[in-house]
Structure 1
């Protein structure tokens, strides 16, 4: 259930990013959901290695380089996902921020709801 919920939350984040940014597009809703799954796999497998490799840069920038890593993961997802298009690093950077904010907000609502139900 958790994987499905996180995938749907990421897909909503992608939809919001597509709606707000001209440089991001998906060819349809099914592609958006599949891209969310691919994004989850990329984040689970490649992001930890990249975060470890860029640790010195992340320390120097006080963690802000993580935004660049997130944009790279979004760009990598677009590279391997047919039907998903990102026009340049700027669109990937802003898109990664939007996806992160939407995911954070949706996860916060889900956790708050679960906490209220367990009381």
Structure 2
């Protein structure tokens, strides 16, 4: 997928998931512009930080047959929340960040399959 397409899809997913979990308080996004900023920051972190975390966690990732990558995705979302500001974009717990990471990974996998050229 194109870089900007991924940012747009992540923005829509952030807004949709914030609306889905609005009553629970698990995930909060204050506006569409914050979701767009968070998507851009997440994309930058995925390019800069995620490869380093992936290499450092490679042994545990192999032992868990790749399931530890969910934890890495949760960490990336928590870092995004930190950089955007917890006042505008936050998760209630690390478990909530991991749940959002799982849902976003599944949605991105489905959409990536349908948007290939």
Q: Do they superpose with TM above 0.5?
A: yes
Deviation larger for 81-90 or 8-17:
8-17
Q: Larger relative contact order (C-alpha < 8 A, sep ≥ 6)?
A: 1
For 1:44 and 1:81, the matched residues in 2 are separated by 17
SS in structure 1 of the partner of residue 65 of structure 2: coil
Match of 2:53 in 1: 50
Match of 1:91 in 2: 96
Alignment of 1:58-69 (within 5 A): 58-69=61-72
Unaligned runs of 5+ in 2: none
Q: Which has the higher helix share?
A: 1
**Between Structure 1 and Structure 2, whose CA radius of gyration is higher?**
1
TM-score by length of 2: 0.89
Unaligned runs of 5+ in 1: 115-119
Write out the 4+ residue segments of structure 1 that deviate beyond 3 Å after TM superposition. Answer: none
Deviation at 1:17, TM superposition (A): 2.2
TM-score by length of 1: 0.87
Aligned residues: 112
Deviation at 1:105, TM superposition (A): 1.7
| Cα RMSD after superposing both structures | 1.4
